[in-house]
Amino acid sequence: MLPVAGSLLVLGCADGRPEEEEAKAWFENHYRGAKVSDVRITEDETIARSFRFEYRSAAGRGGRLEVQFMQDSSGTWRPRPAAPAALP
């Protein structure tokens, strides 16, 4: 489960880890106006899953950002450490 705008988006693996499409939806919801051009799983472990996002920001700049998701104590998968509030 990933938090998406006050609710939870539930997809992912049978064990709950987020998949690429779910991570892309999280990114585009978290960074309004940005569009993901590519997302890849870069590390995959039982307790964590990392994604590399290639994107174009609302201002038209291209970039790349890696985000690692880990389960919190409630079982929700969240960025750890927290994702930046704004795109670099």
Which pLDDT belongs to residue 9? 45
pLDDT on residue 46 = 85
pLDDT-based confidence at residue 8 (cuts at 50, 70, 90):
very low
CA dist 7 and 70 (Å) reads 18
Tens of pLDDT, residues 48-65:
999 999 999 999 999 999
User: Tens digit of pLDDT for each residue in 13-49?
Assistant: 667 889 999 999 999 999 999 999 999 999 998 889 9
Is the pTM for the entire model greater than 0.75?
A: yes
The burial of 7, by beta-carbon neighbours within 10 Å (0-12 exposed, 13-18 middle, 19 or more buried), is given as exposed
Domain ranges in the chain are 2-79
**Maximum pairwise Cα distance, the chain:** 37
